[in-house]
Chains A and B, each alone.
Chain A
Amino acid sequence: DGGITQSPKYLFRKEGQNVTLSCEQNLNHDAMYWYRQDPGQGLRLIYYSQIVNDFQKGDIAEGYSVSREKKESFPLTVTSAQKNPTAFYLCASTKGRNTGELFFGEGSRLTVL
């Protein structure tokens, strides 16, 4: 079945460490996105990519980095520069650039100890 797979589902990190969250999709979607969800807040866009080897900053990109070397993959690195990294991270994809009907993965919960 087609879908979006995020891993790991749960991750613990010590302060000062970088961590990379994986996102893979087999939906043949062009655009991929990373969102962050915090309690009491809506989903906030971190980075997005419309095509391979191209990506754009979202509203809260500071302290994060991404790559898009393959159409299927859009990993997110949470760097030590991110001041408050503990959150629920959601990866999403969509076929075209003009639709908001995103397909989401199940999310990765990152906890910084």
Chain B
Amino acid sequence: DQQVKQNSPSLSVQEGRISILNCDYTNSMFDYFLWYKKYPAEGPTFLISISSIKDKNEDGRFTVFLNKSAKHLSLHIVPSQPGDSAVYFCAAERGANNLFFGTGTRLTVIP
């Protein structure tokens, strides 16, 4: 049972525009949410996170929004750059060592 879902396997965006990656979860006990970025043949790298007590966290071009009532998480990248092209995984945590990953969304930023 997939507790964290990324329903869009791929997304293409023009350089300079906004990229919005979405993630839905089913377990209301999740208390910490993260986004990871992954290039081919490399391990994921941590990008940004948000605690369940917040609804927004911003870090430069990256902003994560959390809507707990809808059990929905989104990552906004603005402006998008070609170097942002990668697979993005969202993940949700429920206590220690209980990290659940989504299936990933491949973002392509077109120059």
Contacts and interface: CB of A to CB of B under 8 A. Distances in A.
Interface string A32-72: 01010000111111001010000010000000000000000
Contacts of A35: 101
A50 B89 contact: no
Interface in B79-105: 89, 91, 93, 95-97, 99-104
Interface stretch (A14-22, A75-83, A90-98): A90-98
Interface stretch (B12-20, B42-50, B54-62, B68-76): B42-50
Interface residues of A, number: 30
Contact of B89 (A31, A43, A45): A43
Contact of A31 (B34, B42, B97): B97
B43 A40 contact: no
Contacts of A48: 97
Contacts of A41: 103
Contacts of A44: 101
A85 interface: no
A45 B46 CA distance: 17
A106 B32 contact: no
A101 B41 CA distance: 20
Given A41-B103, A42-B102, A100 B42 contact: no
Interface in B1-57: 2, 4, 9, 32, 34, 36, 41-46, 49
A31 to B, nearest CB: 7
Nearest 10 CB-CB pairings of A with B: A104-B43, A42-B101, A100-B93, A97-B96, A43-B101, A100-B99, A42-B103, A101-B46, A104-B44, A105-B43
22 contacts: A40-B103, A42-B4, A42-B102, A42-B103, A50-B96, A50-B97, A90-B43, A90-B44, A91-B43, A98-B96, A99-B32, A100-B34, A100-B99, A102-B36, A102-B44, A102-B99, A103-B46, A104-B43, A104-B45, A106-B41, A106-B42, A109-B41
